[in-house]
């Protein structure tokens, strides 16, 4: 398996490239529109055909590159079940798997940051957690039908039940961190450590964060697979 972690500096978004080396087929998770040239160049340099673009959720801080990549490569755009995206080629539900050669990607429902959010478990060894779980943090829950109690359940009753050695690759990082493990986050993540469900809800409901700068543009664009309304 080929695995690459790519970064967009403006939105602090991680995009993940996963490929089967034998088939020379690849998928991208959470591509960013402005980084489509970078992603295409890397695919060409590695001799890979892009088969799928996967979204963990409808993003509010950047516009997805899925629509543009689909135009350029003919790949399929895949989103979580119940995400309000009419242009998706396929919807994944909790427990469903996507195969790419010897690579098996299992969808894990992790709602809370948004009401339709998936994490992706790759070959039982690494989990792409999107905005459900960050390295020593988690995604906010104050818009897009987010719910703090639901996120607490998704993480503590879902992600934290994975083997402790499972690598954690988040959807964002704002402090230069790239990878963690489930065991580390269970032991050290300050959002969850020492907080029960009600305490977590109170904490999350009082963050008082400003809205993402691109929110008004990004959400409707991402509901149209990255197409910007004119």
pLDDT tens digits along 82-111? 898 888 999 999 999 999 999 999 999 999
pLDDT digits (tens, 9 = 90+) for 157-176: 999 999 999 999 999 999 99
Predicted pLDDT of residue 229: 56
With contact defined as beta carbons under 8 Å apart, do 227 and 67 qualify? yes
**Mean local confidence (pLDDT), 103-124:** 98
* Percent of the chain whose predicted confidence (pLDDT) is above 70: 99
Q: Kindly tell me if the per-residue pLDDT of 192 is higher than 50.
A: yes
As assigned by CATH, the class of the 2-208 domain is alpha beta
Instruction: List strands edge to edge, sheet with 180-181.
Output: 97-100, 103-109, 118-122, 126-130, 167-170, 180-181
**Residues written for the chain:** 230
Annotated active-site positions, please?
57, 59, 61-62, 113, 131, 172
Confidence of residue 178 (pLDDT cuts 50, 70, 90): very high
| Residues whose CB is less than 8 angstroms from the CB of residue 25 and which lie 6 or more positions away in sequence, other chains included | 19, 48, 49, 50, 51, 100, 101
**Mean local confidence (pLDDT), 3-14:** 97
Q: Kindly tell me if the per-residue pLDDT of 216 is higher than 90.
A: no
With contact defined as beta carbons under 8 Å apart, do 144 and 58 qualify? yes
């Amino acid at each position: 398996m080929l695995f690459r972690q790519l970064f967009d500096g403006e939105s602090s978004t991680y995009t993940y490239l996963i490929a089967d080396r034998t088939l020379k087929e690849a998928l991208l998770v959470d591509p960013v529109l402005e980084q489509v040239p970078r992603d295409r160049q890397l695919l060409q340099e590695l001799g890979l055909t892009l088969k799928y673009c996967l979204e963990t959720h409808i993003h509010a801080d950047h516009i997805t590159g899925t629509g543009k990549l689909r135009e350029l490569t003919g790949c399929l755009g895949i989103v979580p079940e119940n995400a309000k995206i009419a242009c998706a080629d396929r919807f994944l539900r909790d427990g469903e798997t996507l195969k790419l050669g010897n690579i098996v990607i299992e969808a894990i429902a992790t709602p809370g940051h948004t009401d339709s959010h998936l994490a992706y478990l790759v070959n039982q060894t690494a989990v792409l957690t999107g905005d459900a779980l960050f390295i020593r943090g988690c995604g906010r829950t104050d818009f897009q039908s987010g719910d703090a109690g639901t996120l607490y359940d998704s993480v503590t009753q879902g992600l934290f039940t994975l083997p402790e050695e499972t690598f954690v690759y988040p959807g964002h990082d704002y402090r230069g961190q790239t990878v963690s493990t489930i065991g580390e986050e269970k032991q050290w993540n300050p959002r969850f450590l020492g907080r029960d469900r009600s305490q977590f809800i109170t904490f999350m409901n009082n963050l008082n964060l400003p809205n993402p700068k691109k929110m008004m543009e990004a959400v409707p664009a991402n509901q149209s697979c990255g197409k910007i309304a004119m």
